[in-house]
Amino acid sequence: MSIYADVPKGPAIEVFALTQAFKDDSNPSKVNLSVGAYRTDAGVPWVLPVVRKTEISIASDEAVNHEYLPVTGLDTFTSAATELVLGADSPAIKENRAFGVQTISGTGALRVAADFLHIHLNRNVVYYSNPTWENHHKIFSDAGFTTLKSYRYWDQNKRQLDFKNMVADLNEAPPGAVIILHACAHNPTGIDPTQEQWTELADLLEKKKLFPLFDSAYQGFASGDPDRDAWAVRYFVQRGFELFTCQSFAKNFGLYCERAGNLTVVQKCAGTKAAIHSQLTWIVRGQYSNPPAYGARIVSKVLNTPELRKEWMASIQTMSSRIRQMRTALRDKLVALGTPGNWDHIVNQIGMFSYTGLNESQVRVLIDEYHIYLLKTGRINMCGLNTGNIEYVAKAIHAAVT
Ligand code: PLP
C-alpha cells in the first residue's frame, strides 16, 4: 500500500479547468471568455512590441548573465515598480519611506505580504471583497490567517457597487485587520469605488485602525493611464497610511508566465526600513530563495528608458481601448437584439472583466449549447471577445436569457 494512498484529490481550479475544456472542444465556434489574459482582435495572445524588442536586446547583451539575483530582487526593477505605483513625485519615495521587494508576480507579492503581516505584526484577520479574486482566501489562509471574512461589494440586483454594505461590513472589522482593496479594475466585477467613496473608505480605515493592502494587478491596463489607475493608492499614501501594495506585471506588460511582481512597502518614517527589509528577505529566502530575472529585466529596462516607456504606454492604450470597444459592442448588440434586462453595466465596468449578471443556469447553457466558456459567476474576460465572435456571443447570451 502506497504512503500516498489516502491523499484525497483536490478540487479543480475552475479557470484552468475551463481553459482545458475549451482546448478539448472541437466545435469551430468555441469561445474562451474565462482566463484572465489579453487577446488581440484575432483572438491570439499578444507579446507587446516593446517587450519583444527589449527581450531581444537583453538576450543579445553579452554583459547579461544568469547569476542569482539578490534575495529581494533587481533594484532597478523594484525602484521603477515602486515609482510606477506611488508616482515619481511621491513624498513617501522622496522621504525614503517606501521601497519595493521583487516577488513571484502579484500572487507572490500577496503571499510574502501575508507572511510578513502574520509573522511580524501578528495579524490574523483579513477582509476581502465579496466577490473577489478567488485566490485571496487561499493565500491568506495558507499564510496562517485564522479569520478570513468578506465585505459586501456587489449589488446583484442593481449590478453596481454595494457601497453602503461595504462600509457597514468594514465598520465591524477589528482594529489591525488587513483589508484587501483592489487598486483599480476590481476582479471580477469591474466596478471601482469613486474618488469620493475612496475618501470615505480612507476615513473609515483610519478611524478603525485597519491596514490597507492594495492588490494592484491591472495598473494602466484599466483606463490606459497608469497614473489614473493608481489614484486610490496614492490618495491613501497622501493621507499618511502605512500600507502594502502588491503589484503584478502580468497583465499590463503581458508577462503572465514570467512572474514579475513587486511588494511595495510604505512606512511612516524611514527608520523602520532596514528591519522590514531584512525580515522580507528572510521570508523570500525561506520560500524560493530569490526571484526570476527574466520578466523583471524587461520591465526595468522599459520603465527606465523614456522611449521604451512611451511605447509601453501606447500598448496599454491599445489594450484598454480594444476592451472598451468590445464593451460597447456587446452592450449595443444585446440592446439591438432586445435581450431582456439592462446591459449598461457592461460599459460602466472597467478593466479586463465584466460581471455580466448571468446566473449559473444561463452560464451552463452558454457552455453546453454554445461552447462559450465563462466562470459560473457570470464573469467574462472582455478580451476573449473580438469582431469575429461578438455577434455569436451576443446571440448566445440572448438565447440563454430568454
Ligand atoms: N490579484 C488579482 C485581483 C488578480 O486578478 C490577479 C490575476 O488574475 C492577481 C492578483 C495575480 O496575478 P499574477 O500572480 O499572475 O500576477
**What does the pLDDT look like over 305-356, one tens digit per residue?**
999 999 999 999 999 999 999 999 999 999 999 999 999 999 999 999 999 9
Q: Average the pLDDT over 288-316 and give the result.
A: 98
Look at ligand 1, atom 7, and give the residue with the nearest C-alpha.
Answer: 217
Q: Residue length, the chain?
A: 402
pLDDT at 398: 97
CB crowding 355-365: b at 16 or more within 10 Å, else e: bbbbeeebbeb
Pocket test for ligand 1, best of 19, 102, 107 (most atoms within 8 A of CB): 107
Cβ atoms of residues 166 and 179 within 8 Å = no
Helix (H) or strand (E) holding 99: strand 98-104
pLDDT at 6: 97
pLDDT at 35 exceeding the cut of 90: no
Does any ligand 1 atom lie closer than 6 A to the CB of residue 334?
A: no
Cβ atoms of residues 384 and 39 within 8 Å = yes
Cβ atoms of residues 249 and 260 within 8 Å = yes
Pairwise CA distance, residues 255 & 45, whole Å: 11
Tracing cell 525580515 back to the chain, one arrives at: 279
Ligand 1: nearest atom to the Cα of 261 = 16
Does any ligand 1 atom lie closer than 6 A to the CB of residue 356?
A: no
Mean pLDDT, the chain, whole residue set: 97
User: For residue 36, how far is its CA from the centre of ligand 1 (angstroms)?
Assistant: 9
Three cell numbers written together for 134: 478567488
Ligand 1: nearest atom to the Cα of 104 = 14
pLDDT at 255 exceeding the cut of 90: yes
Three cell numbers written together for 394: 451576443
Straight-line distance from the first to the last Cα atom of the chain, in angstroms, rounded to the nearest whole number: 54
CB atoms within 10 A of CB 267: 17
Phi first, then psi: give them for residue 48, nearest 5 degrees.
-55, 135
Q: Which residues are 244's β-sheet partners?
A: 213, 265
Q: Which residues contact 261 (CB under 8 A, 6 or more apart)?
A: 102, 103, 104, 105, 106, 107, 108, 109, 246, 247, 248, 249, 250
Pocket test for ligand 1, best of 126, 139, 187, 383 (most atoms within 8 A of CB): 187
Q: Average the pLDDT over 156-175 and give the result.
A: 96
Ligand 1: nearest atom to the Cα of 132 = 3
Three cell numbers written together for 371: 461552447
Pairwise CA distance, residues 374 & 377, whole Å: 8
30, 115, 229, 251: the catalytic one is 251
Look at ligand 1, atom 16, and give the residue with the nearest C-alpha.
Answer: 106
CB atoms within 10 A of CB 231: 17
pTM: 0.97
Pairwise CA distance, residues 112 & 10, whole Å: 24
Does any ligand 1 atom lie closer than 6 A to the CB of residue 217?
A: yes
Does any ligand 1 atom lie closer than 6 A to the CB of residue 214?
A: no
pLDDT at 221: 86
What is the DSSP secondary structure assignment for residue 179, as one 8-state letter?
E
Q: Average the pLDDT over 245-268 and give the result.
A: 98
Residue 215 appears among annotated catalytic residues: yes
Q: How confident is the model at residue 391 (pLDDT cuts 50, 70, 90)?
A: very high
Q: What is the CA radius of gyration of the chain?
A: 21
Pocket test for ligand 1, best of 135, 138, 263 (most atoms within 8 A of CB): 135
Does any ligand 1 atom lie closer than 6 A to the CB of residue 106?
A: yes
46, 215, 301, 312: the catalytic one is 215
ipTM: 0.99
Residue of 113, 105, 112 lying closest to 247 (CA atoms) = 105
Ligand 1: nearest atom to the Cα of 107 = 14
Q: What is the pLDDT of residues 202-228, one digit of tens each?
A: 999 999 999 999 999 999 988 999 999
Pairwise CA distance, residues 48 & 29, whole Å: 27
Pocket test for ligand 1, best of 35, 104, 248 (most atoms within 8 A of CB): 248
30, 46, 115, 133: the catalytic one is 133
Tracing cell 490618495 back to the chain, one arrives at: 235
pLDDT at 268: 97
Please give the C-alpha separations between residue 154 and each of 130, 166, 218, 263, 344, in angstroms, as whole numbers. Answer: 7, 9, 19, 27, 15
Q: CA angle, 85 as apex, 63 and 73 as ends, to 5°?
A: 35
Give SS3 for 379.
strand
Does any ligand 1 atom lie closer than 6 A to the CB of residue 187?
A: yes
Does any ligand 1 atom lie closer than 6 A to the CB of residue 34?
A: no
Give SS3 for 264.
strand
Helix (H) or strand (E) holding 246: strand 243-248
Pairwise CA distance, residues 130 & 151, whole Å: 6
Q: CA angle, 106 as apex, 100 and 107 as ends, to 5°?
A: 120
pLDDT at 222: 86
Three cell numbers written together for 350: 472597467
